[in-house]
Structure 1
C-alpha cells in the first residue's frame, strides 16, 4: 500500500518547502520529495550562498579602499578556499534550518527522485528501491537549472554555470561573463572586486535589459568606470576550451568577429525548467516552452495536479515561488485567497552597486497608454549616502499623471535591495502620490531619497 497524504510536493525549494509549512498550518497531512538538498537551488546554490560571496567581495572592496575612510589597511589579501567555505557554511546552516522546520511542522520528507505515476500517485526512487506515495493533491515545484550554450557545454573547469562559479577551483585571472541579467552582473561584480579582469558579453543593446533604461545606462557607466569591460549588441560565435583557458570568437555590433583569450567563462544566459522525466506527459499536463501552464491558483489542466515557481514561468524568483505556493495551498485547503498575479513582485540584483525595481519601467508605462509623471533623485543629494561614502546612484519613481497611481519604482545604489520593499508595500496598499508625499521619512536615512523622488515627480523635490 502506498503512503497516503493530503498533499505531496515534488521539490523543496523556496516554493516547495514554504508550501509544505503553510499546508501543515492549515491542517493538511503533507509530504515533500527532494532529490538533492532541502531548500533547493536557491538556498543551497543560488540566492543565499551568492549573497555570502558578494558580502565577502564588498568587504574586500572596502578594505582595499580603506584610505577613503581615513583608515589604513596594508597587504590586503584573501584565501579563496576560505571565502568559498564561508559561503558553503551559510548554505549548510540554512539547509539545517529547513530540516528543522519540516520536523516542527510534521512534514514527511522523502529523499529521492520523484515522478508522477498516475492520478494522485507519485513514485520516489531511492537507490535500488522505489517508494509509492498517494495523495488527492500533488504539487510540482521542481524549479529550474542553468541554460547551457549548445556549442560549449559547461565543464566546471574552464566553462562555468552559476553553480560552478560559487565553488571555483581557482581564481580567474581574465573572466568572460556571457549574459548580463542579474546572475551575470552579480558574478561579474564579485570576481571583479576580488581582482579578476572581467568582460561582460550581452546580445541585446543594453545590460540588465529588463530594467528601466536609465538604470541600465547608469550601471553600464559605473561598471565601465570601475574597470569592467562591457560589450553589448554582441554575440558569441564560438567558445573553445583548453587546459589553460578559453578562446572566444565574438561578433560585434558591426558584424566583425574578433578572437579573444580568457582564463574562464561563466554562462549566464537564462534557465531551463525542470519538467522532463517527472511524468507530466502521462497525465496530459499542458506545458508551453517547457513551462507548466497554470491558473492564478497553481492549478494545471489535470485534476489534482498543481505547479508553482520556476516551472510555471517568469519571473524566476524565489519570493514569487513562495507566495505562489501559499496561494495554491490555501485554495487547496478551502480558503479564499486572491489569485496569484505578478504585477507587484520586486526584482533585485545584488551587485555593487545594487539594483532593485518593481512595477512598470517608464517606457513600459508609456507603451501601456499611461500619461506619465516620473522623476529621479540622486544619492549625491542624500546626507546618509554621502556619510556612507556611497554617493553614486539614484531612485526613480513612475506615476500615472491622471490618477497618481504608483506605476513603478527603480533604484540603483547602496542597499536599494532593502529600500525597494517600501514601494512594494505602497503599491500593494494602492497608495497614490498623496499618501507617499505626506509620509514622514526618518532622517538621516537612505529612504529619504524615496520621498524626494516622489516629490520630484510633482515638481516638489527639496534637496535638488
Structure 2
C-alpha cells in the first residue's frame, strides 16, 4: 500500500528542500525524494563548494600581493588536496544542515530514484526495492546537468565538467575554458589565481554575454590584465585527449583553424534539464527544448503536477528555484502569492572582480523603447574601495527618464554580489530615483557608490 502525503517533491536542491520546508510550515504532510545527496547540485557540487574554492584563490592572491598592504608573506604556496578537502567539507556541513532542517520540519525523506507513474502517484526505486507514494500534488524539482560537447564527452581526466573541476587531483598547467558565462568565468578566475595559464573560448562577440555591454568590456580588460587569454567570436572545431593532455582545434574570428595543446579543458557551455525518464512524457506534461512549461505559479498543463527550478528554464539560479518553490507551495496550500517576476532576479558571478546585476541592461532598455537616464560611478571615487585596495570597477544604474523607475542596475568590482541586493529590494518596492536619492548611505562603505550612481544619472554625483 502506498504512503500518502499532501505533497511529494521530486528533487531536494534549493528549490525542492525550500519548498518542502515552506509546505510543512503551512501544515502540509510532505515527502521529498532524492537520488543522491540532500541539497542537490547547488549545495553539493555547485554554488557553495565553488565559492569555497574561490575564497581560497582570493586569499592566495592577497598573500601573493601582501607587500602592497605593508605585509610580508614569503614562500607562499598551496596544497591542492587540502584546498579541495576544505571545499568538500563546506558542502558536507551544509548537506548535514539540510538533513537537520528536514527532520526539524517533519519532512519525510525518501532516498532513491523517483518516477511519476500517474497523476498523484510516484514510485521510488531503492536498489531491488520499490516504494510507492501518493499525493494530490507533485512538484518536479529535478534540476539540470552539465551539457557535454557533442564531439567530446567529459572523461574526468583531461576533459572536465564543473563537477570534475571542483575536485581536481592535479593542478592544470595550461587550461582551456570553453564558454564564458558565469561558470566558465568563475573557474577561469579560480585556476588563473592559483597559477594556471588560462584561455577562454567564446562563440559570441563578448564574454559574460548576458551582462551589460560595459560590464563585459570591463571584465575583458580586467581578466586580460590578469593574464587570461580571451578568444571571442571563436569556435571549437574539435577536442581530443592527447599524449600531453588535450588537443583543441580552434576556429578564430578570421576563419582560420589553429591547433593547440592544453593540459586540461573545462566544458562550460550550459546545462541540460533532468526531465527524461521520470514519467512526464506519459502524462503529457508540456516541455520546450526539454524544459517544463509552467505558469507564474509553477503549474504545468497537467493538474496536480508542478515544476520549479532549472527544469523550468532560465535563469538557472538557485535563488530563483527557491522562490519558485515557495510560490508553488503557497498556491497549493490555497494562498494568493505573487507570480514569479523574473525581471527582479539578481545574477551574480563570483570571479575576481565580481559581477552582479538585476533588471534590464542599457541596450535592452533602449530596445524596449524607454527614454533613459543612465548613471555610472567608479570604484576609484569611493574611499572604502581605495582603503581596501580594490579601486577597480563601477556601479551603473539605468532609469526611465519619464517615471524615474529603476529599470536595471549593473556592477563590477569587489563585493558587488553583496551590494546588488539593495537594488533588488528597490525594484521590488517599485522605488524611483527620488527615494534612492534621499536615502542615507553609511560612510565609509562600498554601498555609497550605489547612491552616487543614482545621483550621477541625474547630474548630481558628489565625488566624481
TM-score (norm 2): 1.00
After superposition, residues 102-141 of structure 1 pair within 5 angstroms as 102-141=102-141
Matched with 1:306 is 306
Matched with 2:354 is 354
| CA-based RMSD | 0.5
Matched with 1:381 is 381
Measured in 2, the distance between the counterparts of 1:429 and 1:301 equals: 31
Measured in 1, the distance between the counterparts of 2:120 and 2:203 equals: 44
Matched with 2:149 is 149
CA shift, 1:243, in A, is 4.7
Is the counterpart of residue 247 in structure 1 residue 247 in structure 2? Answer: yes
Can you list the C-alpha shifts for 1:312-339, whole angstroms capped at 9, x where unaligned?
0000000000000100000000111111
Measured in 2, the distance between the counterparts of 1:231 and 1:373 equals: 33
SS at match of 1:343: helix
Can you list the C-alpha shifts for 1:30-75, whole angstroms capped at 9, x where unaligned?
0000000000000000000000000000000000000110111000
CA shift, 1:343, in A, is 1.2
Measured in 2, the distance between the counterparts of 1:453 and 1:306 equals: 41
CA shift, 1:303, in A, is 1.0
Asked whether the equivalents of residues 12 and 39 of structure 2 are also in contact (C-alpha less than 8 Å), the reply is: yes
Matched with 1:270 is 270
CA shift, 1:207, in A, is 0.1
Is the counterpart of residue 447 in structure 1 residue 447 in structure 2? Answer: yes
Measured in 2, the distance between the counterparts of 1:191 and 1:266 equals: 11
Matched with 2:216 is 216
SS at match of 1:420: helix
Matched with 1:420 is 420
After superposition, residues 21-40 of structure 1 pair within 5 angstroms as 21-40=21-40
After superposition, residues 76-95 of structure 1 pair within 5 angstroms as 76-95=76-95
Measured in 2, the distance between the counterparts of 1:409 and 1:297 equals: 26
Measured in 2, the distance between the counterparts of 1:326 and 1:370 equals: 33
Asked whether the equivalents of residues 360 and 408 of structure 2 are also in contact (C-alpha less than 8 Å), the reply is: yes
Asked whether the equivalents of residues 244 and 261 of structure 2 are also in contact (C-alpha less than 8 Å), the reply is: no
Q: Which runs of 4+ in 1 moved over 4 A?
A: none
Asked whether the equivalents of residues 244 and 262 of structure 2 are also in contact (C-alpha less than 8 Å), the reply is: no
Measured in 1, the distance between the counterparts of 2:27 and 2:375 equals: 48
Measured in 2, the distance between the counterparts of 1:168 and 1:205 equals: 30
CA shift, 1:242, in A, is 2.5
* Structure 1 unmatched ranges of 5 or more: none
TM-score (norm 1): 1.00
CA shift, 1:17, in A, is 0.1
Measured in 2, the distance between the counterparts of 1:372 and 1:341 equals: 22
SS at match of 1:75: coil
Matched with 1:225 is 225
Matched with 1:341 is 341
SS at match of 1:171: coil
Matched with 1:198 is 198
Can you list the C-alpha shifts for 1:133-186, whole angstroms capped at 9, x where unaligned?
000000000000000000010000000000000000100000000000000000
